[in-house]
Amino acid sequence: MPHTATPVEPHVMTTYGRVPIALSHGRGSRVWDVNGKSYLDALGGIAVNTLGHAHPKLVPALQDQIAKMIHISNYYYNPATEELARMLVERSGMSNVFFCSTGLEANEAALKLARKFGHDKGIAKPEIVVYEKAFHGRSIATLSATGNPKVQAGFGPLVEGFIRVPVNDIEAIRKATAGNPNVVAVFFEAIQGEGGVNPMTPDYMQQVRALCDANDWLLMIDEVQCGMGRTGKWFAHQWAGITPDVMPLAKGLGSGVPIGAVVAGPKAAHIFAPGNHGTTFGGNPLAVRAGLETIRIMEEDGLLANAAQVGLHLQTALVTQLMHVPGVKEVRGKGLMIGVELDRPCGVLVQRCADAGLLLSVTADSVVRMVPPLILTTAEADEIAATLVPLIKAFLAEQA
């Protein structure tokens, strides 16, 4: 990559709206571009870089694994795969795991599980309850489950078999499913990420768990973005004291090495038989080692507690400094998954923050999203607030 202020990629498909920055390396919660400019990383690879960059415990472990074996086929056993599955089972209270490479793959597998669950009960056309503003991926099936017309546009016809309801409205889901014998599952993100950092309330999650139990439906909770300690518990639904039947994971599980997983409870653990589903790269030795080391380091370094404490500190600072500002609608989230919703589109803040040395994103057009590494310190949280707050105030003032 040439050292230029505006990198050019003439041979790369234009599937991303790039910020004109070429990053070269990172350490901790900071990254540097090819020109030597430093940035505080409040995006964390979109909730991926759990341990930040170049973590001194993770790097040698991955170097060790690369020197031994990167990939084998799933024709053979990899003992580390069982070890990582056991660690996820223990921390989730569930029973079995399927490994893949991405959150999209994990969500696609969850949808297949739900359909197979229905077919095994004699339901010819299974239907799955999904949500407004949801985001589950960009394959045709996960795109169909997603609740964003903008990302669906141009890719019809969409896959049928989805019933869409608003978040946190138990009566809406009861009404939408009343008398329908084809419903097999309810599928939601414990905290919607791309949809604008919208949390499902604990009461609502408990009510949906009870509804699924009463109707013999699968409860499937997408923890791809909000899981792996981001909210201060291993999985965001655990704040509600419930356990799903199916839980897709990815993003932070490998601290940057691509890995996804579908964790299943007893009701869903044995739906798939050999030949029903598969993957080439899922559960490969490098990805699994990254997952094992991520969990081990998170526990050694107390990162769940850090996510809760530093996240609360940052959210409190943002609430204190912004909630009296005209144009700020809400500051919300849990742990180190925080959104600041404005009353107008604010995509320009991504570049303005980058110019000021802060990386973050804007999602759902008007929500400033922060999902930094879980190693973030209180001082770094203060730096985020000190950089972001004046930029939001200036933006709103010029738009008044």
Q: Which of 251, 272, 281, 334 is catalytic?
A: 251
CA 48 to chain centre: 8
CA 29 → CA 45, 54, 143, 291, 299, distances in Å? Answer: 11, 10, 32, 19, 18
Measure the CA–CA gap between 375 and 298, rounded to whole angstroms: 9
Q: What are phi and psi of 265, to 5 degrees?
A: -90, 180
Contact residues for 334 (Cβ-Cβ < 8 A; gap 6+) = 191, 199, 226, 230, 231, 232, 236, 239, 311
Q: Which of 135, 187, 188, 235 is catalytic?
A: 135
Measure the CA–CA gap between 134 and 222, rounded to whole angstroms: 10
Q: What are phi and psi of 303, to 5 degrees?
A: -75, -20
Annotated catalytic, 251? yes
Measure the CA–CA gap between 177 and 317, rounded to whole angstroms: 42
Q: Is the dihedral of CA 183, 188, 194, 199 positive or negative?
A: positive
First to last CA, the chain: 40
Local structure of residue 200 (DSSP, 8 states)? P
Which tokens is 232 given? Answer: 């201060």
Contact residues for 193 (Cβ-Cβ < 8 A; gap 6+) = 47, 135, 224, 225, 226, 337, 363, 369, 371
Rounded (10°) angle between helices 202-215 and 170-177: 20
SS3 61: helix
Local structure of residue 240 (DSSP, 8 states)? G
Annotated catalytic, 393? no
Measure the CA–CA gap between 362 and 385, rounded to whole angstroms: 16
| Helix ranges (DSSP H) in the chain | 44-47, 58-68, 79-92, 103-120, 140-145, 149-152, 170-177, 202-215, 285-300, 303-322, 348-355, 378-399
Annotated catalytic, 135? yes
With beta carbons less than 8 A apart as the criterion, state whether 364 and 32 touch: no
Closest CA to 359 of 390, 395, 329, 383: 383
| Residues classed as catalytic | 135, 222, 251
